[in-house]
Amino acid sequence: MTSTTGRPSLLASLAIQRRVIWALMMREVITRFGRENLGVLWLVAEPMMFTLGVTALWSAAGLNHGSALPIAAFALTGYSSVLLWRNTVSRCNAGIQSNSNLLYHRNVRVIDVFWTRILLEEAGATASFLLLAVFFAWIEWIEPPQDALLVLFGWLMLGWFGAALAMVIGAATAYSEIIERLWHPVSYLLFPLSGAAFMIDWLPPAGQQVVLLLPMVHGVEILREGYFGDAVRTVYDMAYMAKANLLLTLLGLFLVRDAGRRVGSL
- Condensed to tens digits (0 to 9), the pLDDT of residues 66-79 reads 456 788 888 889 88
Give domain status of residue 33, yes or no.
yes
Write the pLDDT tens digit of every residue in 212-221: 999 999 999 9
Give domain status of residue 3, yes or no.
no
Give domain status of residue 4, yes or no.
no
Q: Is 70 strand, coil or helix?
A: coil
**How high does pLDDT run on average in the chain?**
84
Write the pLDDT tens digit of every residue in 191-205: 889 988 889 999 999
Give me the amino acid identity at 187: S
Cα three-residue angle 172-96-30, rounded to 5 degrees: 140
Cα–Cα distance measured from residue 84 to residue 115, given in angstroms and rounded to the nearest whole number: 14
Closest CA to 161 of 43, 242, 254, 78: 242
Give the count of domains, the chain. Answer: 1
Q: What is the pLDDT of residue 37?
A: 57
Write the pLDDT tens digit of every residue in 173-186: 888 888 888 998 99
Cα–Cα distance measured from residue 152 to residue 266, given in angstroms and rounded to the nearest whole number: 42
Give domain status of residue 2, yes or no.
no
Give domain status of residue 1, yes or no.
no
Q: What is the pLDDT of residue 265?
A: 46
Q: What is the pLDDT of residue 266?
A: 45
Closest CA to 232 of 193, 195, 205: 195
Give domain status of residue 129, yes or no.
yes
Q: What is the pLDDT of residue 66?
A: 47
Cα–Cα distance measured from residue 259 to residue 168, given in angstroms and rounded to the nearest whole number: 10
Give domain status of residue 192, yes or no.
yes
Residue span of the structural domain in which 106 resides = 10-265
